[in-house]
Chain A
Amino acid sequence: MKKLDRLDWAERLTLSAFGVRAGVRVNVSGLLPRVLPLLPPGWTKSHRVIVERLYSLVVAQGCERAGMRRLHVLYADTMPVARDAALDQVLAALETDLHRYTAEATSDMTFLHAGVVGWQGRAIVFPGRTLSGKTTLVREMLRLGATYYSDEFAVVDNFGLVHPFARPLGIREDSSYAQTKYTAERLGAASGVKPLPMGMAVICKYEAGAQWQPAPLSQGQGALELLANSFAVRSQPHQTLRRLHNLVRHSVFIKGTRGEAHEAAASILNLSCARERLETT
């Protein structure tokens, strides 16, 4: 750390998000405005000096010589997180690592790996790992009028309410692994602001050509599926279980394999509406 500390740092920022304090410092002035949109939604500036994790972004400067690549390097404390000639890639790594660290370190909330939309005052949650098709389904739900909450995290408070983590959606175009960022507004949807109770959790994965025929899942089985996607269950098992208990109280669960997202999205919203009608009558 001392070696890094000795470098000439041009700009620095201390932030707080979900009760986690982190710092970012860069060795080039004018770079912080590019970092700000990558910070966790709802972050605030902190005036405290001590942070839980310090990111150091060393931007390669000077002319490139033949046979030698100049690499930008990102450190989390003393650990190198990314090293690349493309600054955009290193900034993307900063975003990923900072969001992940926040999800893991916060004790204020429980983070689940899930996509979330708001629909008629309830949250519909799609827990799942990478490439399970969360973002595609969220995008389709937005097209049908749902409100955007997140394509990556369901953020659950002590009362079991789901808070927005409305970072731009990372959409993979044409089945490539590279993501293009779109804000919900650019996709014609609104972003949620108010925390919502969960009305439905949909456990599904994509399989080309599959027909969407979901089966109901019991609350206990559903809670187990959510547990399998929670970030801090190993380090904070008590809080995680308590918050999951409050989260699933008024929720239904369905599970299945889906084909194209538009078919599943319409069916999920219909189910949600039908349930709403049943409850009001």
Chain B
Amino acid sequence: MKERQFPRARVDCLSREFGNEVLVYDLQRDVGHCLNSTAAAAWKLCDGNSSPPQIARTLSRQLSTRVDEAVVLLALDQLAAAHLLVEPEVPVERLSRRVALRRIGIAAAIALPLVTSIVAPTPAQAASCLHNLAPCTNNVQCCSGVCAPIALRCVGG
């Protein structure tokens, strides 16, 4: 029961390493995430068997510098918010970002964990949209989202 509360990385996502960073694509949510080196290292250690202090110790060994547990908690907070961890059956109490940052202070020897996310575009979103007065047949074609019904032209945008 206790083990289940340890953080575990989701395995149903696609991931690729770009230097020390990892790009993760969530197939269920169609969201892309970029994990910086610290967040990526922490994510890889989320095996469901390691507690945050254990992850901090392993990270310290890997990076040859002391990694505070608060850094790991901050990483876990961001990874959980990005849905990159298996949801625990029992809600886990996490350190708030503000408290974590206060504990880490300004003297952290490694980069603070950072997870950046984008929603993957649909083909229509990725493409150029139609502008004012361009012929259209439905709203999604127009940049403004408005295709005038009788004139069949985009209005605005």
Contacts and interface: CB of A to CB of B under 8 A. Distances in A.
A272 to B, nearest CB: 21
A96 B25 contact: no
B128 A234 contact: no
Interface in B73-125: 116, 118, 120-123
Nearest to A240: B25
Given A227-B23, A241-B23, A233 B120 contact: yes
B18 A83 contact: no
A223 interface: yes
Nearest to B30: A234
B8 to A, nearest CB: 22
Given A82-B135, A82-B136, A177-B132, A218 B19 contact: yes
Given A218-B19, A219-B19, A237-B25, A81 B34 contact: no
A84 interface: yes
Contacts of B21: 218-221
Contacts of A248: 18
Contacts of A131: 143
A71 to B, nearest CB: 8
Interface residues of A, number: 43
Interface string A66-84: 0000000000000111111
B134 A177 contact: yes
Interface string B134-151: 111100000100000000
B122 A234 contact: yes
- Name the residue among A81, A90, A227, A232 with the largest chain B CB count within 10 angstroms: A227
Interface of B: 14, 16, 18-19, 21-23, 25, 27, 30, 32-36, 116, 118, 120-123, 126-137, 143, 152-153, 157
Interface of A: 79-84, 86, 89-90, 92-93, 96, 100, 103-104, 113, 129-131, 152, 177-178, 218-221, 223-224, 227-234, 237-238, 241-242, 244-245, 248
18 contacts: A82-B135, A84-B152, A96-B128, A104-B123, A113-B128, A130-B129, A177-B131, A177-B132, A177-B134, A219-B18, A220-B34, A227-B118, A230-B121, A231-B123, A231-B126, A231-B127, A241-B23, A241-B25
